[in-house]
Amino acid sequence: MGITIASLVTPAGTPPSEANMRLLFSVLCANVPDLDIFIMIPMHKDHRIYSFFHYPLFWLLILPGIIYILSQLHFPIEYAVMLIAGITSHFFMDMLDSTGKIMLLAPFKNTQYSFLKNVQQYHSFSEFISLYKTKAFKYEASITTVCLSIIAAARRF
């Protein structure tokens, strides 16, 4: 999603160095909630449950401060847009993930939310491949295709 977001906020004629900087920043923003995975995997814990990086309320609290810092460093407003859109799209896509859920109200409430029915976690490569045959995965792929088509259509205008 970071690439799509960067392409939406980078106007035609932007110098290549600035376009590359926006692309890098946007991709980083779309993946920043997963940076904790390097800490959680060795601990054998699911980062979607045990890490505050995957709590949307955490980001609601710190985003204003990050945006303020970006403005003080004289970054264009598009960087704040990429930050908000990247993190928001990350959680939206995680809620479309057929193998996991997001605790939207954590740490206050541990209920996990997903747009799709949870599919059992896989323990082998063959189980992982079997996920591609499920209705949930086909639904997930269809929604993702529709969302990307809408973004592409909006880009034309």
Q: Are the C-beta atoms of 5 and 83 separated by less than 8 Å?
A: no
**pTM flag (> 0.95):** no
The reply to whether omega before 107 is within 30° of 0 (cis) is: yes
Q: How many helices (H) and strands (E) does the chain have?
A: 8, 0
pLDDT at 29 over 70: yes
| Residue 113 DSSP SS3 | strand
**C-alpha span between 97 and 117 (Å, rounded):** 9
Q: What angle do CA 40, 44, 45 make, to 5 degrees?
A: 60
Please provide the average confidence, as pLDDT, over all residues in the chain.
81
Q: 109-119: b or e for each residue (b if 16 or more CB lie within 10 Å)?
A: eeeeebbbeeb
Q: Are the C-beta atoms of 99 and 40 separated by less than 8 Å?
A: no
Domain residue extents for the chain? 2-156
How much is the pLDDT for 26? 92
How much is the pLDDT for 123? 60
**C-alpha span between 121 and 136 (Å, rounded):** 13
The mean per-residue pLDDT over the stretch 106-130 comes to: 69
